[in-house]
Structure 1
Amino acid sequence: MTPSRTARWTAAWLIAAAWAFSFPLVSSLGPHRLWGWCAGAGYLAAAGATACGRRRAALGAALTGAIAVPLLYLVLTGQGQSEVGVIERSGRLLLTSGRMYVDQPAGVEDYTPYLPGMALLGIPRALLEGAFGAGGDWAVRLLGDARIWCAAALFGGMWAGRRLLGGVRSPLLPLLVASPVVALPLAVSGVDLPLAGLCCLALAAAGSGRPGLSGAALAAACALKWTALPAVAVAVALLGVVRGARDAVRCAAVAALGTALLVLPGLLLQPAELWRQVFAFPTGRADVPTPASSPLPGHLLAGLGPWGWHLTVGLLAVGGLVVAASLVVRPPRTVVAAADRLALGLTLAFLLAPAGRFGYLALPVLLVAWARSTAGPGVSRVVARSGERVARPAGAPHPSGARRGSHDAP
């Protein structure tokens, strides 16, 4: 590593440490404060190791301080954001009653602002408690905690996506995992991680010309949170370029059918609660105000009164139409471009939503960084129609086994 690059990475770890150490000072949430102390120490150690030229030691210190220590402690002590308990409660309700929503919720803690697919991530805890009891056994907590399964969905999606694209092993991926973008939600909540992993897999499958797999991943994502819907449009647009209209339609059909199969039972059993808790509550239209109230533009506008709420919803719709039009006029031709377009759409949605959190913006950042980590140095990011050149390491033989001639695309 050159001296200038060493200085840049040392500075990056120091910035991450400063950001982590701010949590004990500004956050009122115990899990966030604990994460801040642990992660800050880990990032400081990473900065010191980087300055000494020990890159692997730096990564190990960051992963230990930002993920391993806080996650293990919070899981074993049963601490975390309320979302963890909400997912696990949904799993218990699904196993015992076939439903996942609390009828007539009285307080914030009774609401489940997720689609029925999220309950599947709470089933492991319910099964382990049924087998071994809910007496706080460490194995039940460690193996059943919803954060563990959310993390498994994230890492599984990112790994599978990279394999589909044939990307070389990139140092960016473990650095991305160690960064606050992944480490904080992984340790304290984990609720958005499965969505991110499935979106990565869906884009990779679309970019590699696998419409069925892309549609299945999109269906799983859309069954978790309705914010996954923009990913369907982006993946379909990418497939239209990679494989043509037929495979794009096939992907959309698989996504629609799969989503319906996963969501329809909950809709039929509890239509009023699904509407109240999944749509009205997150947008600030339920009887109980949502705690997602970061001072983002949409929330500030919605706080001005009924006209402000309608205005921000209108702006949100206009933003969605603009991004959709861009997919028609200039569809993405690479996985990186598709991830960027999806990140743009999600960023607009989170900024203009009537209620939101700054933490939601981690999802677009993760998508952009992951896409670039799958195409390391020397790997083409070009995707094309079936039979043409696709992403492969530089210098690798042409798929036909012959050298490219003058007629091949540059």
Structure 2
Amino acid sequence: MRKTLGARVAQYVGRYAGRRPGPYAERYAWAGCAVVAPVFALASDMGPHRVWGLGAGAGYAVAACLASGSGRRRAAARAVAVVGAVVVPLVALLAAGLGQSEVTVVERSGHLLLTTGSPYVTDPVAVGDFNPYLPGMALFGLLPGDPRWWLGGAFVAALAAAGLHRAWLLACPPVALPLAVGGVDLPVAGLMCLGVALAGRGRPGRAGLALGAAAALKWTAWPALPVVLALVAARRGGRPALRCAAAGLATATAAVLPFALTDPAGFVRNVVAFPLGLTSVVSPAASPLPGRLLAAHVPGGTLIALTLLVVSALLIALSLVVRPPGTVREAAGRLALGLGLATALMPATRFGYLVYPLVLGALACRRRRPGTPVTRSAAKAAVA
């Protein structure tokens, strides 16, 4: 039987991911980051980004000098990259009281939840009044200290539980930047990875809980539910898939539904209309990606971008029916592809959303442990 295009791509990705990098590959990678970070700092008009770019550039440069020779030197280089690109900029920004607007939104939503019982302003009139996140995100604003500690901590803990112990991933600029300046997408991406990993380990109930927690934070987590359900159904059958669905939907519904029913108008304005660019107030999420460019420069571009977004979502859903993922690698890769397309096509989007396909792609390319099924047939045989 001839292999499908998806199977061939997965096979090639698996072969590439299993190879060890050359002795100078890490040096070139850190050297590239050492160039990109300061350039980003000079190009950005945001103070927190400038602080991160200059500090991270120095850390990447030192890492590039260390990243050659023995394994200990490369491990030291990764540690230096994490310290230089994450820890030092984060501490400097906290000391200066600087951060992205997301930090303020999370803090304010936690205060509103505590004082009014809802994390949303019913009639927002300015950008600062909007809270585009689902109610679970407000919990990070209730915890003591700066939300960045808790957002980053939840992300790192979820990756560790998923088996992604990768210092290079934390130091990678698309991850290191939000860790330092404030990234609400990080815990969402981490919980999605954890849900996929738990489903692959044969724990559908726990996978549903992890995905439900992610779905209570942002809408971007919801596409993970059908992908993981397809994975569980392909590996374990219908009943475990139903158990996973029940756990995920119950968790997300319990966190979201009370606020949607209490103030439906405010809920829709904040978490539906505003992120999709359907309000009179323009979202600051305006990176020059295709969806944003269509919405800004083409007549009817918002409708075109939303149509393309829906079509891409339907094609991914069709792929789950025609060829459901049978391994963690396939599920993570399918989800990374879908979220990458969504990031590119949303009318209100930003480069920070690329953390989703990056982290899920790292899970898809993770080296197999001894005894882990490598193909769909092997996975089914292992289950049987």
How high is the TM-score relative to the length of structure 2? 0.89
Give me the whole-angstrom Cα distance separating, in 1, the residues matched to 2:212 and 2:32.
37
- Tell me the equivalent position of 1:177: 170
Change (3 A) 1:385 1:56: closer
Give 1:200 deviation, angstroms. 0.9
Give 1:185 deviation, angstroms. 0.9
- Tell me the equivalent position of 1:72: 91
C-alpha RMSD of matched pairs (Å): 2.2
> Equivalent of 1:13, from 30, 49, 53?
30
Checking the alignment, whether the CA contact within 8 Å between 2:33 and 2:60 is kept in structure 1 is yes
Checking the alignment, whether the CA contact within 8 Å between 1:181 and 1:366 is kept in structure 2 is no
SS of the equivalent of 1:5 reads: coil
Query: Does residue 1:161 correspond to 2:162, yes or no?
Result: yes
Give 1:374 deviation, angstroms. 6.1
> Equivalent of 1:30, from 44, 47, 50?
47
C-alpha offsets along residues 81-127 of structure 1, whole Å, 9 cap, x if unaligned?
A: 000011011111111221101232221111111010100111113xx
Task: List alignment gaps of at least 5 residues for structure 2.
Answer: 1-19
Checking the alignment, whether the CA contact within 8 Å between 1:108 and 1:290 is kept in structure 2 is yes
- Tell me the equivalent position of 1:330: 323
- Give the counterpart letter for 1:10 in structure 2: R
Q: Which entry has the higher C-alpha Rg, 1 or 2?
A: 1
- Tell me the equivalent position of 1:122: 141
Query: Does residue 1:99 correspond to 2:123, yes or no?
Result: no
Checking the alignment, whether the CA contact within 8 Å between 2:232 and 2:241 is kept in structure 1 is yes
Calculate percent identity across the aligned residue pairs: 50
- Tell me the equivalent position of 2:56: 39
- Tell me the equivalent position of 2:150: 149
Give me the whole-angstrom Cα distance separating, in 2, the residues matched to 1:40 and 1:386.
43
Query: Does residue 1:108 correspond to 2:127, yes or no?
Result: yes
- Tell me the equivalent position of 1:137: none
- Tell me the equivalent position of 2:222: 229
Give 1:338 deviation, angstroms. 0.7
Checking the alignment, whether the CA contact within 8 Å between 1:100 and 1:116 is kept in structure 2 is yes
Give me the whole-angstrom Cα distance separating, in 1, the residues matched to 2:196 and 2:380.
19
- Give the counterpart letter for 2:353 in structure 1: Y
Give me the whole-angstrom Cα distance separating, in 2, the residues matched to 1:377 and 1:16.
33
Give 1:181 deviation, angstroms. 2.6
C-alpha offsets along residues 237-275 of structure 1, whole Å, 9 cap, x if unaligned?
A: 100111111111221122122211100121122211110
Give me the whole-angstrom Cα distance separating, in 2, the residues matched to 1:316 and 1:209.
32
Query: Does residue 1:193 correspond to 2:194, yes or no?
Result: no
Query: Does residue 1:215 correspond to 2:234, yes or no?
Result: no
Query: Does residue 1:363 correspond to 2:367, yes or no?
Result: no
C-alpha offsets along residues 275-318 of structure 1, whole Å, 9 cap, x if unaligned?
A: 01111111111121111111211112222466322121111111
- Give the counterpart letter for 1:13 in structure 2: W
Runs of 4+ residues over 4 Å off in structure 1: 376-388
How many residues in Structure 1 have an aligned counterpart in Structure 2?
363
C-alpha offsets along residues 181-214 of structure 1, whole Å, 9 cap, x if unaligned?
A: 3211100112101101110111011111111111
- Give the counterpart letter for 1:159 in structure 2: A
Checking the alignment, whether the CA contact within 8 Å between 2:235 and 2:380 is kept in structure 1 is no
Deviating more after overlay: 321-330 vs 92-101: 92-101
Give 1:51 deviation, angstroms. 3.5
Query: Does residue 1:293 correspond to 2:310, yes or no?
Result: no
C-alpha offsets along residues 118-145 of structure 1, whole Å, 9 cap, x if unaligned?
A: 00111113xxxxxxxxxxxxxxxxxx11
Checking the alignment, whether the CA contact within 8 Å between 1:91 and 1:100 is kept in structure 2 is yes
Give me the whole-angstrom Cα distance separating, in 2, the residues matched to 1:184 and 1:44.
16
Checking the alignment, whether the CA contact within 8 Å between 1:176 and 1:370 is kept in structure 2 is no
Change (3 A) 1:346 1:386: closer
Change (3 A) 1:367 1:263: same
Give 1:6 deviation, angstroms. 2.2
SS of the equivalent of 1:373 reads: coil
Give 1:72 deviation, angstroms. 1.1
Checking the alignment, whether the CA contact within 8 Å between 1:181 and 1:362 is kept in structure 2 is yes
Checking the alignment, whether the CA contact within 8 Å between 2:174 and 2:354 is kept in structure 1 is no
C-alpha offsets along residues 348-398 of structure 1, whole Å, 9 cap, x if unaligned?
A: 1111111101221121111111343363588554578999537xxxxxxxx
Checking the alignment, whether the CA contact within 8 Å between 2:186 and 2:355 is kept in structure 1 is no
Checking the alignment, whether the CA contact within 8 Å between 1:281 and 1:290 is kept in structure 2 is yes
Checking the alignment, whether the CA contact within 8 Å between 2:327 and 2:379 is kept in structure 1 is no
- Tell me the equivalent position of 1:406: none
- Give the counterpart letter for 1:150 in structure 2: L
Give me the whole-angstrom Cα distance separating, in 2, the residues matched to 1:196 and 1:362.
7
Query: Does residue 1:315 correspond to 2:308, yes or no?
Result: yes
- Give the counterpart letter for 1:92 in structure 2: H
Give me the whole-angstrom Cα distance separating, in 2, the residues matched to 1:239 and 1:383.
12
Give me the whole-angstrom Cα distance separating, in 1, the residues matched to 2:305 and 2:207.
32
- Give the counterpart letter for 1:360 in structure 2: Y
How high is the TM-score relative to the length of structure 1? 0.84
Give me the whole-angstrom Cα distance separating, in 2, the residues matched to 1:376 and 1:89.
43
1:363-382 alignment, distance < 5 Å: 363-373=356-366, 375=368, 380-381=373-374
Give me the whole-angstrom Cα distance separating, in 2, the residues matched to 1:181 and 1:89.
25
